[in-house]
Amino acid sequence: MVDYRITLSHLVARVNRRIEGALSQRLKAEGLSLEHYRILTALVEENGRTMSDLATWAMVDPPTMTKMIDRLVASGFVFRAPDPNDRRKVLVFISDVGRSVYKAAETPAMAFEEELGNVLPAVDRAELTRLLQSLLK
């Protein structure tokens, strides 16, 4: 019988669930879901992204992304506009309100990242980062 607690995929999933749960709690205090924070982060880094790009970034399927963007538009955090290079495409942009909400949420999110980073010595963090990145190739 396989002990699923020690398989790599199960361990990665458990760590991911724990990290996302803890970060979600911090963001909830700022009025954002983790997925909404990811969307705003993507738009702060590169404003004017496609829905499919945002879905990939936020790790949700395209129909879910559409609903999320609808909510963010209704809140005034983002807006849609036609792609100037291809009028058939729609791009999503962060608004000034969304940027302000993002800035407020960024402080607890970065504090969480720092706490998470302090769990392991720097050399181990660097090695873990390298190993996880190699799994994404």
pLDDT for 1: 58
**How many domains in the chain?**
1
Residue identified by tokens 């769990």 is 119
Q: How far apart are CA 13 and CA 19, in angstroms?
A: 10
CATH of the domain at 54: 1.10.10.10
SS3 per-residue string spanning 41-64: HHHHHCCCEEHHHHHHHHCCCHHH
Q: pTM, whole model, 2 decimals? A: 0.86
Structural domain span for residue 31: 4-135
pLDDT for 5: 61
Chunk the chain into consecutive blocks of 10 residues (it has 137) and report each block's average pLDDT, rounded to whole numbers. 72 92 94 94 96 93 95 97 90 97 95 90 91 91
pLDDT for 117: 87
Instruction: State the number of CA atoms in the 13 A half-sphere of 2 facing the CB.
Output: 7
- Say how many residues make up the chain: 137
Q: How far apart are CA 47 and CA 22, in angstroms?
A: 27
pLDDT for 10: 84
Reduced to 3 states, what is the DSSP secondary structure of residue 136?
coil
Residue identified by tokens 């706490």 is 115
Eight-state DSSP code of residue 9 = H
